[in-house]
Amino acid sequence: MLIRIGYELTFQAPARTPMLLMLYTHPSRAASLRQPDHVQVEPYAPVQEFIDALGNRGGRLVASPGKLRLWNATVIEDGGEPDAVCPYAAQQPVEELPPEMLTWLLGSRYCEVGKLTDVAWSLFGQTPLGWPRVQAVCDWVHRNVQFGYQFASPTRSALDVFRERTGVCRDLNHLALTFCRCLGVPARYVTGYLGDIGVPWSPAPMDFSGWFEAYLGGRWHTFDARHNTPRVGRVVMARGRDAVDVAFTTSFGPMTLETFTVNTDVHPQSAAAAMR
């Protein structure tokens, strides 16, 4: 399956402003790209690309005062299979985890492990270890937190989501992955593309999506407390401790986002082949 992905963002910068960009597909998907994946900038400014400490592909530029337009469109090949379900994936005791996994048990800006540990154990301490426990976390968050774009807030943390019971995809998954860390399951936040592939079309504007991965049975598995069902066509852009690490843009100075468009759908070539 071929999937078209892309975006267009416009900003107003009152002054010369350095920016970090996390708008690329993840290096792990590089072999799947069928067209180049580079940020286009108008008015032109050179973009320095790099791989960050977490293995994500990023860029940096300096925006001139005035309007800034960032956009790109590319095509990526996907297996067309839904997220894998591995109900027997086991949970390793913390003391047996590889050292590099310990980072993913700790609290972070939006994921207050210390403040939610007692809550997590009271809710899920009696659930079976491993995949069933992580799935129980997703089920609870999906049932108890109301999703809605009107609830979007750049400052809402996992603790806020637990108290307010509202949020967008990143909020539901921040809470779920925080509960996992509280329970001794390494978990990391993921951002990327997720279109309406294999599900009813939604009239809501497209956006970058957020989900999380949990480390079970010696590898990472995809979970999504917002949708809470296996989906087709996820395209990872970046992974991190929480949304701070994977923000699509970070500006070092005042900057106003004016327009924001994301597109992801099945390429016409694949759609035609499926109909034959």
Coarse DSSP helix, strand, coil percentages of the chain, rounded to the nearest 5 percent: 25, 35, 40
Give the domain extent around 38.
2-80+248-275
Q: What is the CATH number of the domain that holds 60?
A: 2.60.40.2250
Q: Are residues 120 and 52 in the same domain?
A: no
Minimal CA–CA distance to 93: which of 82, 85, 101? Answer: 101
Q: What angle do CA 206, 247, 111 make, to 5 degrees?
A: 105
161 located within any domain: yes
Q: Are residues 73 and 140 in the same domain?
A: no
240 located within any domain: no
Report whether 80 contacts 232 (CB < 8 A).
yes
CA atoms within a 13 Å half-sphere pointing along the CA-CB vector of 10: 6
pTM score, whole prediction: 0.95
243 located within any domain: no
Report whether 108 contacts 157 (CB < 8 A).
no
User: pLDDT tens digits, residue range 224-273?
Assistant: 999 999 999 999 999 999 999 999 999 999 999 999 999 999 988 775 55
Total domains present in the chain: 2
**Both structure tokens of 264:** 């992801």
Secondary element (H or E) of residue 268: helix 268-275
**Contacting residues for 145 by C-beta, under 8 A, at least 6 apart:** 161, 165, 166, 167, 171, 172, 175, 225
Q: Are residues 228 and 113 in the same domain?
A: yes
49 located within any domain: yes
Q: How far is CA 209 from the centre of its chain?
A: 5
Q: Are residues 98 and 226 in the same domain?
A: yes
Q: What is the CATH number of the domain that holds 176?
A: 3.10.620.30
Report whether 5 contacts 73 (CB < 8 A).
yes
Interatomic CA distance for residues 72 and 40, integer angstroms:
6
**Both structure tokens of 41:** 């900038």
User: pLDDT tens digits, residue range 17-73?
Assistant: 999 999 999 999 999 999 999 999 999 999 999 999 999 999 999 999 999 999 999
Question: Counting Cβ atoms within 10 Å, is residue 98 exposed (0-12), middle (13-18) or buried (19+)?
Answer: exposed
87 located within any domain: no
Q: How are beta strands 166-167 and 146-147 bridged, if at all?
A: parallel
User: pLDDT tens digits, residue range 153-165?
Assistant: 999 999 999 999 9
Q: Where are the alpha helices (DSSP H) in 86-182?
A: 113-124, 131-144, 158-164, 169-182
Question: Counting Cβ atoms within 10 Å, is residue 238 exposed (0-12), middle (13-18) or buried (19+)?
Answer: buried
Q: Are residues 10 and 54 in the same domain?
A: yes
Report whether 207 contacts 243 (CB < 8 A).
no
Task: Report the first-to-last Cα separation within the chain, whole angstroms.
Answer: 14
Q: Are residues 101 and 222 in the same domain?
A: yes
What confidence score (pLDDT) does residue 148 get? Answer: 93
What confidence score (pLDDT) does residue 276 get? Answer: 42
34 located within any domain: yes
134 located within any domain: yes
